[in-house]
Amino acid sequence: MLGLMQDRPLALPHIFHRAEQLFGHKTVVTAEVNGETTTTIAELCTRVRRLATALDDLGISADGRVATFCWNTARHLELYLAAPCTGRVLHTLNIRLFPEQLVYIVGHAEDEVIFVDRSLLPLLWPLADKMPTVRAFVVIDDGADTAIPDDPRVRDYEELLAAAEPFSGDFVIEDENTAAAMCYTSGTTGNPKGVVYSHRSTVLHSVATLFADGPALSERDVLMPVVPMFHANAWGLPYGGLLAGSTLVMPGPNMAPQAIVSMLERHEVTITAGVPTIWMGVQPLLGDHDLTHLRAILCGGSAVPKALSEAYREAIGIPLLHAWGMTETSPIASVSSMRSHHEGLTEEERADARARQGYPLPLVELRIADPETGEPQPWDDEATGEVQAAGPWIAKDYYRGEGGGSQFTEDGWLRTGDVATVDRYGSFRLVDRTKDLVKSGGEWISSVELENEIMAHPKVAEAAVIGVPHEKWVERPLACVVVKPGETLTAEEVIEFLRPRVAKWWLPDAVEFIDEIPKTSVGKFSKKTLREKFGGYELPAAAER
Ligand code: ADP
């Protein structure tokens, strides 16, 4: 017997029409190169309708890839809606990729047009001739005084919109499984791989951002996604915010901590999101700003140090809300929300609970499995295994079938490459990425745990741990430490600080002080770059501790 409920597609036109109908009076603020602009959702929706026609005028194919090379702005949001609502596929390009990677990705996705913020033209235009699939580069003027090339491929966004009649009527996507957007993962080995989001996966993930045990977006929120709109769709928050009817604040090109904290204060932001490095930068400024409106700071992308989260709790009363995911998981898969069984715990124990990667969201299934045998591991918070994920917003393959078999299990689960334990309530705690674990004499040392302990030192700004070759133990940990400005610290002090906190055989064999931990294109610690930097590193002889 079949159910008798309507089979309406879960597709982005719903989010657009709902925003247009219910939330026209709400606003989107965007920081630009010289000041801020404010637009209403009603104005934004009219511009989306014009943009829909403009994409036809540009001759973009029915399911053509529409690439963006933009900051977080209202204009970018227009593209987030117009491309998928007209059946095209939004392709957000990471502005921090190396030129060769960009050229590769644009060619691989066969992007037909790239919308580019004027301030970012100098990064993109020199590559234009290596991008034969791109027939138009549409420049969005963000107030930068960058010269605009005199070339027939270059078009002006505002002129294009002004010349286009607004599309009237309803946008329709009949098959909810058609592609809505794509995003390439940076990929530490081989070429970047394309993750392709469907309308269905995007709508369901947007709904999940409204869950009470997740970001819990609501109409009363003022949402500021600091995480870039090219990093897994800013964790799905712009779509979630539109679905909920939240006011949006877009930080634009100025990612400096002072600019971020000022916007949070000025616009009375209630919820924001970004990777730990962003919040590390903002933390010293907290005392100078009134952030009493903030109710949540979503943080993920790499492990959130407990000390950082606690510094926020102490300064402004709210710890960081820790979430875990990947580009392949849309990206939010688990959130470390507080649960009833945490009541009555000490503040320290609650902080430990928050530092975990947390509970799978409804509709997401996570398990840990022995990476070699695939054997499921018990949820006793002792056994470790590779995290595997399944659910309606988890990838089942990469673009053009480039999963290569090894990224997915035989029963169709995504192999994340992360290693974790799980407690009996289902809270995951990531131990490391498979490739970052330090293998010492046949036993694993968690680089993430060591880093978090080192970053709890009051004089440490940042720390990353990598494995370096060792004659006897195969690999031993090397700690790379950045000291806070104006402070001094010795290797012995770091080791003495760690001694009561970790097992003796985990203590790093050496500590190197560096100016900055190299970051990836999405602002995470780049262990790959560190490993290159310290390739051939000679550990001190007396390494036994
Ligand atoms: P990339 O692999 O290019 O960094 P993603 O942004 O998709 O691309 O990164 C996903 C990975 O980031 C995860 O597999 C995990 O290793 C790491 N990660 C994400 N969130 C967290 C978190 N909260 N704690 C620890 N690691 C995290």
Residue 404 CA to chain centroid, in angstroms?
24
Distance CA(217)–CA(89), nearest Å, equals 25
* The Cα angle at residue 467 between residues 466 and 473, in degrees rounded to 5: 160
| Per-residue pLDDT tens over the stretch 1-19 | 999 999 999 999 999 999 9
DSSP codes, 320-335: -EEEEE-GGGSSEEEE
Question: Can you give the pLDDT at residue 434?
Answer: 82
Structure confidence at residue 542 (pLDDT): 56
Q: What is the pTM of this model?
A: 0.92
Kindly state if the Cβ of 252 falls inside 6 Å of ligand 1: no
Cβ of 227 closer than 6 Å to ligand 1, yes or no, is no
233 within ligand 1 shell (Cβ under 6 A): no
**Is any atom of ligand 1 closer than 6 Å to the C-beta of 327?**
yes
Is 428 strand, coil or helix?
strand
N-terminal to C-terminal alpha carbon distance within the chain = 68
Q: Give the Cα separation of 271 and 295 in Å (integer).
A: 6
Q: Find out whether the beta carbon of 418 lies less than 6 Å from any atom of ligand 1.
A: yes
Q: Ligand 1 centre and the CA of 326: distance in Å? A: 5
| Atom number of ligand 1 nearest to Cα 433 | 16
Nearest CA to ligand 1 atom 27: 302
**Cis bond upstream, residue 331 (ω within 30):** yes
Q: Which residues of the chain have pLDDT under 50?
A: 543
Q: How far does the centroid of ligand 1 lie from the alpha carbon of residue 395, in Å?
A: 15
Is the minimum distance from the CB of 354 to ligand 1 under 6 angstroms? no
> What is the reported pLDDT for 482?
96
- CA nearest to 137, candidates 105, 158, 114, 106: 114
By DSSP bridging, strand 271-274 and strand 296-299 are parallel
Protein residue with its CA nearest to atom 12 in ligand 1 = 301
Are 302 and 276 within 8 A, CB to CB? yes
Full 3-state SS string of 478-508? EEEEEECCCCCCCHHHHHHHHCCCCCHHHCC
Q: How much distance in Å is there from the Cα of 490 to the middle of ligand 1?
A: 31
Rg of the chain over Cα atoms, rounded to whole angstroms, equals 24
463, 451 contact by CB (below 8 A): yes
Tell me what pLDDT residue 187 has: 60
Per-residue confidence (pLDDT) for residue 262, from 0 to 100: 98
Structure tokens at 276: 């730990």
pLDDT, tens only, 379-401: 999 999 999 999 999 999 999 98
Tokens standing for 160?
């294009």
Determine if ligand 1 sits within 6 Å of the CB of residue 388: no
Burial of 35 (0-12, 13-18, 19+ CB in 10 A): exposed
Write the DSSP assignment of 510-538 as a string of letters.
Answer: EEEE-S---B-TTSSB-HHHHHHHTTT--
Q: Ligand 1 centre and the CA of 64: distance in Å?
A: 29
Identify which of 275, 298, 326, 415 to mutate to test ligand 1's pocket (most ligand atoms within 8 A of the CB): 326
Active site members: 185, 328, 439, 444
Atom of ligand 1 nearest to the CA of 300: 23
**Cα 221 to ligand 1 centre (Å):** 26
**Structure confidence at residue 188 (pLDDT):** 55
